[in-house]
Amino acid sequence: MGSDKDITIGLLAPLSGVVSLYGEEISNAAKIACDEINEAGGILGKKLKLVIADDGSVPQTAVPAAKQLVHDHHCDAIIGNLLSSSRIAVNLDVAEVEKIPYLSFSFYEGSIKGRYFFSFAALPNQQIDKMIPYMAERYGMKFFFAGANYEWPRGSIDAAKHALAKIGGEIVGEEYLQQGATDFRSMLYRLYTSGADVFVPYFAGTDQVNLLTQFCEMKLKDRMAVVMGHFDEVMAASMPNNIKTGFYSSNTYFMSVPTKENKHYLERLSTLESVNGLLPNGNGGLTNFGEGTYLCVKAFAQAVKQANSLNTDAIISALENVEVQSPQGHVKMDPKTHHAYVNNYLSKCNQSGEFEIVESFGLIEPLIPPRYKHHYEQSEFDEFTSNEEPKLNIASWQLIKIFSYDEVWSGIEQQKTVCDLPEYIRTSLTIDKASFKEHFYNKEPMFMMGNSTDGYQFRVKVIPLEGNDKSNLAIYESKGDYTPQLSDQILANADVAVIATDETGHVIVANESSTTLFGYVIEELIGLHIIHLIPPRFREKHNSYFKQFLQAKDTQRKMGSRQQIYGYRKDGSEFPATASIAKTSTGGSHVLTVTIVDISEQKEQHEQLEWQANHDSLTHLPNRSLFHRRLSSALRRSATANSKVALLFIDLDHFKSINDIFGHDFGDMLLVSVSNRLLETINPGDTLSRFGGDEFVVLCDNVADPEEIETLAQKINRRLKQPFTVLDQIVYLSCSIGFSLGFGSSDSANTLVRKADTAMYEAKDKGRDAILGYNPQLDSQMKNKFDIAHDLRQAINDDTFSLVIQPIVDLSCNKVVAGEVLLRCTTPQGSISPEIFIPVAESIGLINIIGQWVINNAFQALSKISNHIESGQLKYISINISNNQLCQPEFIELMTSELRKYTINPQHILLEITETSIMKNEAHVKLVLAELASIGFKIAIDDFGTGYTCFNQLLELPINCLKIDKTFVDKIETDEKSPILIHTISSLANFLGFDVITEGVETKEQLKTLQYLGCYRIQGFLFYKPMSFQEFDALLNTGESTNINFNVSKD
């Protein structure tokens, strides 16, 4: 207790370390509170003295600092700490041991229960339960959580997940990084691809600042909302305007809280000599940490006044019922949990760094999270079992002697041992000066061990004793009756942690691996209660398990028989582990030996495998499996909210050709570029998935207006048409997009995907580079296409395809000079038009097989009428070639093989390529056509005038012939532009040395006009319908002129 003159309160402030940016603010708050109390007359007629110690932001320095406040400064209470890991350690190692009131100013996860512990900051429910529904309602139900690997982030995120589950939200990501992490980019990219609506990060101090900075650098701020339980004016002051603007924060206090107490405090803060103004314009700030510190000091003062005593029990009783008016508003303690009713505000940071209050939720009851609730099942705050005196059960302890401190210290200084100890101890045991001084200073037992020359092992413990005028030390020994040398060597060399405890749970033996694993030096670990090595949420369960095993008949429980456990390091971080435990009976009691294996690496590998099972390995986007689960979740929410869900199914046009031309590695790089561009294009909260190959799917949740989906599809289409550059190669793409909309009450995930897929394939069939929404008529069309596909496969198996040939007439000699080979398909249900079955064959990948059949049979048929070629009567036959065939790697070899097989001169084969086929993959098509021309084939552009080929492009192609499309002929008498276009094409073609064939001539009037326009090679029903090769042979054998003869003047 303090002196008669003053009452002393100690403050553990983070003056260094990861949260040191709050150190000055917390210190100022405590000073202002003390000054106000003393100005009002102090407490019980005494001044309130404040002593500030640096907790270093970590447990390793926080615990010694707390002990110094108690032992050196004789504090009547302590206030601290900002970080949860430090708070847990200080409560267990100082407050419970020293029986001193410990008041907490920082929000945390809710893991601490203690008679002397009082929290005046927010529990997760007070900070999170309002925040999560608010953000979900405004931004969406998909949340991504991330935090550092210690108790506060894990506990807070667990509470947030419970809050999200209550409203039917979805967790799309949860990750934990080591404290002090500096590179968040990998995690942030996974966030980017997750489709999250809201990001909730739980990092401390500068870690949080670094995270948010990298978040903005990756341009994620426009993709999702961010809400935090730890973001405030001090943090914002260290960040550029473009980063801090727009972030949400939920806590007990912000400088903009409109209370008279807050106004009063800020006015007082601004008068401090070290303050040059209030944030954001000056350096004077107050956050929930400082406000909580101010509150703790005021609450302690009020409790002492109420108790009218410095008796600890009286102060504890008063603290349990204390109420304080603070800058945040009215605050009162809950006596059952030792956690206060506090206020909750949701705020949003503006560009200047001010936090505008968005919602005020008022005073909220403290609720211990489910994962810690077992701590509070007992009605009393029992003192922890770790305060029991350690018992070494290898043998009984025997008192050697009680020494004065000076006797021991002088011996250690001179010989590093104690002179009056037995010789086997004195000669075998070395006592470290620093370790001894620390243990004595902290009034902690010190344990040592050694080996005697007689072949047994001994333990020594030194226990500080309280005396009237000076401290004495009791030194005990305990001997074992076994030979330890070999076992000690084995233990030391073991690569797993091995720890032995007595029946009370205090460590009596530990190997080097255990010190490495848990972060303690051996002197710290020996004598430590094993509860320190267990995460707070598991400690009660561990105690129960420990006692149950002591009483059980079995003496060993092997690894694998227990579920995964977690270890707790000195720095507050945790790790997954497996453990086995055994007990050995000796001297009427037991020694328990625990073997612990860190399985962090295995768990990381498992998590990586799990991630890989749900994500595309190339683009890192959700794969089909994960996408279906996300879609199912969206539909469940849709059923509840009666909102629409939409899918966009995106297929890249002719992507296979790119793979064939440039290789699959090139194609993979292009797919990554496509995925990145799609991520940049879709709306915030949309989920992008790679379904496989060149197919991507976008999930749009909570669609308000169906027109938004078509607008998004158009936006995607435009973006993908912009050039891509891969390995210095410029590539142009187009895509076919089908979209569908549905409700969770009427559509399943499979149904919605099928509808979008159906619409996408219909868009492809319409010529690709198209967007189409699903409608029920598409189902019947798809069924029809399915039937056609079935008929085509059957026709291939049954060889029921056939070829016909349509004669081409030269009006200049009025004779048949060529013919176009056409494919026919006859099924049991009747004939199918090529206009119907050719697109279907292309869409299902049969066009190459069918095209090969056509080439083989056309060449064979030509060989049978070769006499007409030899006589010069027949100039050539023409065969249609699809873009798919041109992109086939073995196409050239196929053509040359067929020439050799049937001994055909390629000069007598005209290959017809549609204008759109050239445009789809121009670079590759040019190469293939050039090679075909070099072999001797003639090349024609079919349906010329329907695409966008310019004459400049024609000059770059090895073209021999242009075929004017039937659509121009059909309009020749009704559209005045058609004759002009036909004449222009014909004249320029003739000038360039190309033949011109006009297709689809069906009337005499059309023929007459064409003759007038200079078109003399004609194909159409007016002359001949398609016929068999036998009929064509017979026609050529007659040598007759055509059955129509018009003499139209060229003038």
| Same domain? 733 vs 829 | no
- The model's pLDDT over 850-880, given as tens digits with 9 standing for 90+, comes to 999 999 999 999 999 999 999 999 999 999 9
Cα–Cα dist 612/132, whole Å: 29
Residue with the two structure tokens 């050529």: 1036
Residue 53 CA to residue 79 CA, distance in Å, equals 10
The domain total for the chain is: 6
CATH number at residue 522: 3.30.450.20
Task: Name the nearest CA neighbour of 886 among 643, 654, 592.
Answer: 654
637 assigned to some structural domain:
yes
Contact (CB, 8 A) for 127 and 366: no
CA angle 934, 937, 941 (to 5 degrees): 110
Tell me the torsion sign for CA atoms 745, 750, 753, 754: negative
Beta-bridge partners for 347: 249, 357
Final residue of a domain: which of 569, 584, 614?
Answer: 614
Q: Please state, in angstroms and rounded to a whole number, the distance separating the CA atoms of residues 506 and 661.
A: 71
Contact by Cβ (8 Å): 9, 78:
yes
Amino acid at 915: E
Residue 62 contacts residue 55 (beta carbons within 8 Å): yes
* Domain final position from 755, 775, 795: 775
End-to-end CA distance of the chain: 125
Is there a single domain that holds both residue 825 and residue 914?
yes
3 state SS of 85: helix
Residues 338 and 370 in one domain: no
Q: What pLDDT shows up at residue 418?
A: 65
Beta pairing class for 909-914 and 938-944 = parallel
On whether the CB atoms of residues 688 and 626 are closer than 8 A, the answer is: no
Helix (H, G, I), strand (E, B) or coil at 970: helix
Mean of pLDDT values over 177-191? 94
pLDDT for 402: 67
pLDDT digits 0-9 by tens, 15-45: 999 999 999 999 999 999 999 999 999 999 9
Distance CA 786, CA 856 (A): 27
pLDDT tier at 661 (50, 70, 90 boundaries)? Answer: confident
Instruction: Give the residue numbers spanning the domain of 852.
Output: 787-1038
Range with top average pLDDT, 230-234, 506-510, 544-548, 977-981: 230-234
Within a domain: 268: no
Q: Which region among 373-387, 546-560, 905-919 has the lowest average model confidence (pLDDT)?
A: 373-387
Mean pLDDT of the chain: 88
Q: Across-strand partners of 350?
A: none
Residue 391: pLDDT band with limits 50, 70, 90: very low
CA–CA distance, 305 with 648 (Å, rounded to integer): 68
Looking at residue 747, what is its pLDDT? 92
Which sign does the torsion angle of CA 839, 844, 849, 853 carry? negative
DSSP 495: S
Phi, psi of 751 (to 5 degrees): -65, -45
Which residue type, as a one-letter code, is found at position 779?
Answer: D
155 part of a folded domain: yes
Alpha carbons 996 and 962: distance in angstroms, whole number:
5
What is the domain-level CATH number for residue 100?
Answer: 3.40.50.2300
Nearest-angstrom CA–CA distance, 698 and 646: 8
Helical pair 707-721 and 664-681, crossing angle rounded to 10 deg: 140
What would the pLDDT profile of 103-118 be if each residue is shown by its tens digit? 999 999 999 999 999 9
DSSP string spanning 341-381?
EEEEEEEEE-TTS-EEEEEEEEEE-----GGGGGGGSSSS-
In a domain, 666, yes or no: yes
Order the strands of the 771-773 sheet from edge to edge.
Answer: 687-692, 695-703, 644-652, 735-742, 771-773
Which of 138-147, 451-460, 897-906, 1026-1035 shows the lowest mean pLDDT across its residues? 451-460
Q: State yes or no: pLDDT of 483 exceeds 80.
A: no
Residues 542 and 610 in one domain: yes
Residue-wise pLDDT for 747-780, tens only, equals 999 999 999 999 998 898 787 899 999 999 888 8
Whether 454 shows a pLDDT value over 70: the answer reads no
Residue 1047 lies in a domain: no
CATH code of the domain containing 831? 3.20.20.450
Backbone angles phi, psi at 299, to 5 degrees: -65, -40
Report, as an integer, the average pLDDT of 48-63.
96
Q: Does 806 share its domain with 872? A: yes
Instruction: Tell me: do 600 and 587 sit in the same domain.
Output: yes
User: Tell me, what's the pLDDT at 741?
Assistant: 96
Choose the weakest-confidence range: 319-333, 703-717, 837-851, 925-939: 837-851
**Rounded to an integer, what distance in angstroms lies between the CA atom of residue 450 and that of residue 453?**
10
Give the amino acid at 603.
Answer: K
Predicted pLDDT of residue 442 = 62
Alpha helices in 464-561 (DSSP H): 485-493, 512-518, 522-525, 539-551
575 and 678 assigned to the same domain: no
Residue with the bigger pLDDT between 403 and 743: it is: 743
Closest C-alpha to 688, from 139, 194, 174: 194
What per-residue confidence (pLDDT) applies to 585?
80
Beta carbons of 11 and 103 less than 8 angstroms apart: no
Q: What pLDDT does 3 receive?
A: 47
**Same domain for 800 and 877?**
yes
225 found inside a domain: yes
Residue 1027 pLDDT grade (very low, low, confident, very high; cuts 50, 70, 90): very high
State both tokens at 562.
């227990």
Q: What is the mean pLDDT of residues 178-198?
A: 95
Please answer whether residues 1005 and 792 qualify as being in contact, where contact means their C-beta atoms are separated by less than 8 angstroms: no
State how far the Cα of 329 lies from the Cα of 999, in Å rounded to an integer. Answer: 88
What pLDDT shows up at residue 543?
Answer: 86
Q: Which amino acid is at 865?
A: I
Give yes or no: residues 462 and 543 share one domain. Answer: no
Widest pairwise Cα distance in the chain: 139
Domain final position from 574, 593, 614: 614
CA distance 397 to 379: 36
Are the CB atoms for 65 and 55 separated by under 8 Å? Answer: yes
- Same domain membership, residue 663 and residue 769: yes
Tokens linked to 150: 């210690």
Query: Do 335 and 467 sit in the same domain of this protein?
Result: no
- Residue 276, in any domain of the structure: no
CA Rg, the chain, in Å?
43
Is 1051 a member of any domain? no
Are 727 and 638 within one domain? yes
For residues 375 and 372, give the distance between their C-alpha atoms in angstroms, rounded to a whole number: 6
Three-state SS at 277: coil
Confidence at 376, pLDDT banded by 50, 70, 90: low
> What would the DSSP string read from start to end of 148-163?
ESBHHHHHHHHHHHHH
CA distances from 1021 to 469, 864, 963, 982 (A): 126, 25, 16, 19
Across 150-154, 405-409, 826-830, the highest mean pLDDT is recorded for: 150-154
Taking the CA of residue 570 as centre, how many other CA atoms within 13 Å lie in the half-sphere pointing to its CB?
A: 17
CATH number for the domain harbouring residue 476: 3.30.450
CA 30/CA 347 separation, integer angstroms: 25
